[in-house]
Structures are given as structure tokens and as C-alpha cells.
Structure 1
Amino acid sequence: MREINPLSLNVVRLFLSSAFYIPLVLYLGLPALTPERWAILILSGVIGFTVADWFFLEGMQIMGVSRAAILVTFHPILTMFVAHYTLGRPLTAGLLAGAFSITLAVILTATESDPSGRVNWKGVAYVFLAQLMWTFAVIVTDWLVTGESAFSIIGLRIGFGALGGLIFLPSIKNDLKKLDKKGWGLIGLITLFGTILGHYFFTLALKFAGSSIATPVTESSPIMASILAVIFLKERLTRRLLYAMILTTLGILMIGIWG
């Protein structure tokens, strides 16, 4: 995002991902969904990929990778509680203890001031709005994937997300002209590992483990992202960020061991 804006990056990766998924989904056959489920599938794709991912990338550009990644750890906590009360997923003492530790980490990160001494509420707002939308999308995917192909469900959600991104094409054309071969190569890697493979394996996890367990377990990703951002992007490693990393790691361990 030092080359192009977050909206452009999100739309392009959705187009590339859908170009991979949709032909295979059509070849394998569409899932037998009711009109109601089709409508919900379309809505979850647009909200979860077109809008929520864009909001997160905006927040990440404002706050930096390390801080935005830690804030994202609140998303599985919210998902865990919603999944319990809507889909009957388990809610154990280990999950609650891990949730408490991760919530403390989020509070530390959200209230940390930038170098000028101000709390960047705009970045926090973008990330939290993204999390609310992701929670809706994950719960819906958990519900839709029951008895259906995980590949088809995630492929169609990404496809509908790309369809929603068509509205932004006129505003990103000039941005895309800035990209050189290296830029397109990096977007290709992001698309392959982050969108195509990452979301497919996560959807499989939802199918076999349920959203209340699968989503919190993925929270090792923000810790790794935060550490790598400090090392390679030279982002600030403050005492608050370090404490937040430790609390998040403890929370993940509690969920993994006792959840």
C-alpha cells in the first residue's frame, strides 16, 4: 500500500481470486441453496470481502500493520460469543479466559497514542467496523457451509465480493497504472496465500471445528504480523505493543489448550 491505496489493492485481489475460484466452482457444480441462502451468501460476500477488507486495509494504512493486527484479535472474541448464542457453538472457561486476555491486549493497543501524542481514533474506527462485518460474514459462512462444499461457498463469496468491487473500477484505474511488475507480483502473492489458500483453509476449519473454535485459533496470525512489521517495516515497538503481544499470545494459548 506504499504503491496504491487500500481500495485498489482490495478490488484487484478479489478480481484475481474470483478468476481462480469461479471457473472451478462452475465446473464442480453450484451448491443446492434456497433463494434465501443465495441472498445471504451474496450479502456476506459483499460485506465480508468488498467492504470489511477495504476498511481493514484503510485502518492498517493509518495505524500500521503491528497495531491494526493486534486490534483484529477482538474479532474472534466477538465471533465466539455470537456463534454461541446463534449457532449453539461451545463457550468454555478456557475460551472465556483467553477472550479476557485478548480483550486487555486490544484495549492497550486501541488507547495507545501515536508519536504526536494523540490516539488515532480514525484508524481504530476503521478496524473495528471491519471486525463487526467480518463477524457477520463468519457466522453466516459457518451456517452456510454445513452440509455444503467449503470450496464452493468460499469461492462464491469471493466472487460476489469481486462483483461488489466493480462499482469502484472507475476510481481505481489511475492507481493501477502505477503498478510495475514487482507490484503485480506482490499482489499475486497476497492473492494466492492470503485470499485463495488462506480463506479456503479457514472455511474448512469452520466446517470441521465451528466458528467459536476456528476463529480464535487463527489469532496467531496477528502476533506474527506484528513481529514481522516491527522487523521488516521498522514500525515502533512500544511497551504497550509488547504487552499487547504477550497478552494476545497468552489468550491464544488458553483457547488452544483449554478451549
Structure 2
Amino acid sequence: MLLTLRTRNKTGVRVGIGEAMALGSAATWAVGVILARQLGVHLPPLALNLLKNGLVLAVLAPVALVLHAGAWPSLPAEELAIVVASGVIGIALADTLYFRALNELGAGRMGVIGNLYSPLVLLLGFLFLDERLGAGQWLGFALVGLGVLLVSRPPGEWRTHPQHTARGVVIGLAAIALMAIAIVMVKRTLETQPLLWVTALRLAGAVAGLLGLAALPAMRARMRFVASEVPWRRLLVAALLGQGLSMVLWLGGYKFTSASVAAILNESASVFVVVLAALWLREPLGKRAFIGVVLTFSGIACMLLGRAMP
């Protein structure tokens, strides 16, 4: 059931916190994407994902213990399994694929492909969380999908590097789909459990999954990097800001408001990503991509104006 501006949710927190956290997550995630794009020159995707999440877990777990006075969370076995599985799917697998696509496509294009995330969450929320979609959501879904197709298939690049670009698009779309699945499966647990503990447990599942992937013989070669060439300070900032803080705010958005509203607001991350990619990384944005961006944000506007009905 959607919350209104004059009501409180079941936890007694004033409505508006969830929306603010979702927007804050978008801003910090965009910074993390830009930093990750630069870090990808020195670190392969799997190694980057493992290092970032390991750093965040090392900081977040002690913080959660202190804030909760050393009390461990009491989750039923089924909910614990769901939280851990959500971390494996949404972080270990999805983020690794995301960073791989980011290296191939660039921050600007990958940021717009990420706009497919909210339509997927809306669809999954309709199927599994009983969140009803109105006409505005379906129109938004179509516009965002069209925008993603336009941006992910710039004619010039498909003529010169067809296999490279096609592979990046497929990997990017798979990453976004896994992220959507992972957040919808943990939504109900988020509503009733402490935010920091759920975040820490998801991270623990993610780190375990990443270590398992790194141990595979076929993946060991993809873990190699030259430590002296890694910008460790930038990695620390990217981990704590773009991964840690962004993840807490992201999950907080889903805890304190509906999945559909949080997912829509998360899409504002693409605004920050495209602007930062142009200003910081000097990535060009052609006419076709610009039209895709306009269509994408028109779709987001439709979804905001036509909020999901209870």
C-alpha cells in the first residue's frame, strides 16, 4: 500500500524519508559509477567488486554493532536465507556484470541502460508485492524501454565495433535485471528488520559469493592486477560513498516507501551519471543518445505522475 505525505508508515517514520533516501542513493551511486569507471582501468570487474564490498562490510558491520548496542539481529532462517541470497544475486553477480558492462559501454550509456531497472521493479512488484500499476506506469515503461534501445544502439559504434557493443549491452541488461530481482525478493524483510543489519547481511552474502567466484579456476586469471597501479584512495572513496552510503540509502528507500516509488526515484541517478560523464570523463553524448535520454526521462515523469495504486 502506498504511503501519502500526511501519514506514517508501520514503523512510525514520517513519510518522505524513504523518498529522500532514494534520491540520496541516486546521487551517491552516480559518483560511485564515475569513480568505478576510472578504477576499471586498473582493476578487473570481479576484483573491483570484491574489494569495494569487502571494504564496506569491514566498516559497516562494526557500525551496526555499535548502533544496536552489540545486539545481533534475530531473523528466521527463511528470511536470513533470502537476505543472503539477495546479496549474492544483487551484488556478487549483478554488480560484477555491471562493472564489466561499464568498462565496455562507458558511464553515460550504461547510466541510461540502467533506467530499465525501474520498469522491471514495477513489473516484479506487480507480480510479487501486489503493487498495482496504472496507465501512467505502462506508458512510462514503454518510453523508458524505447529510450534505452536508442541509447544502447548508437549507429556509428554498432558499425565499427558490433560485437563489442552488443556484448556490453547484453551484460548491462542482465546486471540490471538481477538487481531488480534481488531488491524485490528482500523488500518484505526490509520492512520489518533493522536497516543496517539487513545491509550488512546482504554484503556478507555478496562477499561470500564473490570469494566463491574468485576461487573458480576460470576466474582466477581475471582477478590479477598490479597493486602499485591501483589508486587506493579513490577506491576507498568509491567504496564508502558510491557503494556503502549509497547502498544504505538505497535499501532505506525501499524500507520506508513502496518498491515502485523508490525504483522510480532511483532513476534520477542517470541524470547525475550523464552530467558527470560529460563533465568529468569528457564522454560525448550524440543526438540519438540525447533523444534516448529525453524519452527515458519522459517515461520516468509518466511513472511519477501516475503512481502505482494500492
Common topology (TM > 0.5): yes
**Mapping of residues 98-117 of structure 1, within 5 Å:** 98-115=140-157, 117=159
| 216-225 vs 12-21, which moves further | 216-225
Asked if 1:3 is matched to 2:63, the reply is no
Q: Percent identity?
A: 23
Q: What is the aligned-residue RMSD (CA, Å)?
A: 1.9
Asked if 1:148 is matched to 2:193, the reply is yes
CA shift at 1:190, angstroms? 1.0
- Contact between 1:4 and 1:178, CA under 8 Å: does it hold in 2? no
CA shift at 1:163, angstroms? 2.1
Which residue of 1 is the match for residue 138 of structure 2? 96
**Mapping of residues 1-259 of structure 1, within 5 Å:** 1-27=40-66, 28=68, 29-115=71-157, 117=159, 118-119=161-162, 120-167=165-212, 168=214, 171=221, 174-175=224-225, 177-180=227-230, 183-259=231-307
| 52-61 vs 234-243, which moves further | 234-243
Distance 1:140 1:171, change over 3 A: same
User: How far apart are the structure 1 equivalents of 2:72 and 2:221?
Assistant: 32
- Contact between 1:91 and 1:212, CA under 8 Å: does it hold in 2? no
User: How far apart are the structure 2 equivalents of 1:205 and 1:116?
Assistant: 37
Structure 1, residues 212-231: CA drift from partner, whole Å, max 9, x if none? 11011110111221222123
| 228-237 vs 132-141, which moves further | 228-237
Amino acid paired to 1:4:
L
User: How far apart are the structure 2 equivalents of 1:250 and 1:16?
Assistant: 37
User: How far apart are the structure 2 equivalents of 1:59 and 1:249?
Assistant: 22
Distance 1:79 1:116, change over 3 A: closer
Structure 1, residues 26-46: CA drift from partner, whole Å, max 9, x if none? 452333222122122111111
User: How far apart are the structure 2 equivalents of 1:211 and 1:64?
Assistant: 28
| 163-172 vs 2-11, which moves further | 163-172
Task: Give the match's secondary structure for 2:228.
Answer: coil
Distance 1:11 1:95, change over 3 A: same
User: How far apart are the structure 2 equivalents of 1:59 and 1:172?
Assistant: 15
Structure 1, residues 117-149: CA drift from partner, whole Å, max 9, x if none? 144110011111111211111102212112111
Structure 1, residues 77-111: CA drift from partner, whole Å, max 9, x if none? 01111111211123223322322221110111233
CA shift at 1:173, angstroms? 6.3
User: How many pairs does the alignment contain?
Assistant: 257
CA shift at 1:166, angstroms? 2.1
TM-score, length of structure 1 as denominator length = 0.91
| 159-168 vs 143-152, which moves further | 159-168
Amino acid paired to 1:5:
P
User: How far apart are the structure 1 equivalents of 2:139 and 2:63?
Assistant: 42
Higher relative CO (Cα under 8 Å, sequence separation at least 6) belongs to 2
| 107-116 vs 208-217, which moves further | 107-116
Which residue of 1 is the match for residue 15 of structure 2? none
Structure 1: runs of 5+ lacking an equivalent: none
- Contact between 2:114 and 2:270, CA under 8 Å: does it hold in 1? yes
- Contact between 1:76 and 1:215, CA under 8 Å: does it hold in 2? yes
